[in-house]
């Protein structure tokens, strides 16, 4: 087979030039459309003709009358099966059709290789994106966890602020209630009765004051007994008997003070809860 001279689309060296190639624009142009345009152009004007038939006419002979089979090198090409037909070429098959089919198969093989390569590249990109997505999800969990901790801390601080504000209101009220007493004490400095300076606000406070005073007094008596024992003024058996009695009484006063303290704490919490809705500091 030799190249037809002159041919509008194929040069004597085998270079193919068609309008589709000359107007190639990426990405609208592709190999599949190129194959279709090559097939259309070469079907109207095949670029090859048989060398065995000497014909001065530059036009290719009628391949429908040719009885010779196509050259072995065309039939032995290791291309995949042609999509245009599965039948084996017969002796009367057109050589231009064989050339066209082999060219199409070669282009299809090249396109398939490019597609496989692009698929591997895209799979690698997808793996990288999935890895980045995992890292971002982990960071999202850490950010959400930190945000929740900050919100919990904020709520705890707001609760502490409410307690401080309530305590401030209680102290301010106590100061307002006792301003007159302070003024009276300042005017009568000469006739101040120490026992009348402080008054218990309720029964629990009075009981707590009595228990604390008795506890401290017993502590002072025990200390005095220790000193007397060291100086030999008190016999040892009498010391032990008195310390035993005082310790029992001191334990009773301490236990009573602990119960009174718990009752006062419960009453204070109930009072704060009752004043909370009326305070302008409440959320």
pLDDT digits (tens, 9 = 90+) for 1-34: 788 778 888 888 888 888 888 888 877 888 888 8
Q: Is residue 182 part of a domain?
A: no
> C-alpha dihedral over 152, 155, 161, 166, to 10 degrees?
-130
Q: Round the average pLDDT of the chain to a whole number and report it.
A: 79
Q: Which residue has the tokens 């909370």?
A: 276
**Can you give the pTM of this predicted structure?**
0.32
Q: Is residue 192 part of a domain?
A: no
Q: Is residue 235 part of a domain?
A: yes
pLDDT digits (tens, 9 = 90+) for 70-89: 544 444 344 444 444 444 44
Q: Is residue 151 part of a domain?
A: no
Q: Is residue 103 part of a domain?
A: no
Q: Is residue 165 part of a domain?
A: no
Q: Is residue 109 part of a domain?
A: no
Q: What are the distances in angstroms from CA 97 to CA 68, 74, 102, 108, 169? A: 14, 11, 9, 16, 104
Count structural domains, the chain. Answer: 2
Which of 164-178, 188-202, 208-222 shows the highest mean pLDDT? Answer: 208-222
16 CB contacts (<8 Å, ≥6 apart)? 9, 10, 38
End-to-end CA distance of the chain: 96
Q: Is residue 248 part of a domain?
A: yes
Q: Residues 233-246: what's their mean pLDDT?
A: 90
Structural domain including 240 reads 200-275
């Amino acid at each position: 087979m030799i190249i037809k001279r002159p041919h509008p689309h194929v040069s004597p060296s085998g270079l193919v030039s068609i309008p589709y190639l000359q107007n190639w624009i990426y990405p609208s142009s592709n190999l599949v459309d190129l194959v279709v345009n090559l097939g259309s152009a070469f079907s109207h004007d095949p670029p090859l003709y048989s060398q065995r038939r000497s014909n001065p006419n530059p036009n290719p002979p009628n391949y429908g009358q040719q009885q010779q089979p196509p050259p072995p090198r065309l039939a032995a090409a290791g291309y995949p099966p042609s999509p245009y037909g599965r039948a084996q070429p017969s002796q009367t098959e057109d050589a231009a059709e064989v050339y066209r089919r082999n060219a199409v198969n070669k282009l299809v093989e090249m396109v398939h290789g490019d597609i496989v390569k692009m698929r591997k590249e895209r799979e690698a990109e997808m793996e990288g994106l999935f890895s980045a997505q995992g890292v971002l999800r982990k960071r999202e969990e850490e950010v959400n966890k930190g945000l929740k901790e900050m919100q919990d801390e904020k709520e705890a601080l707001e609760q502490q602020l409410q307690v401080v504000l309530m305590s401030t209101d209680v102290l301010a009220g106590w100061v307002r209630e006792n301003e007159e007493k302070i003024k009276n004490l300042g005017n009568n400095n000469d006739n101040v009765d120490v026992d009348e300076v402080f008054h218990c606000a309720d029964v629990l406070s009075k009981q707590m004051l009595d228990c604390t005073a008795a506890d401290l007094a017993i502590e002072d008596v025990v200390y005095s007994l220790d000193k007397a024992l060291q100086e030999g003024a008190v016999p040892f058996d009498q010391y032990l008997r008195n310390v035993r009695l005082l310790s029992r009484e001191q334990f009773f006063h301490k236990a009573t003070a602990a119960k009174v303290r718990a009752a006062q704490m419960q009453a204070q919490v109930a009072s704060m809860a009752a004043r909370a809705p009326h305070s302008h500091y409440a959320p």
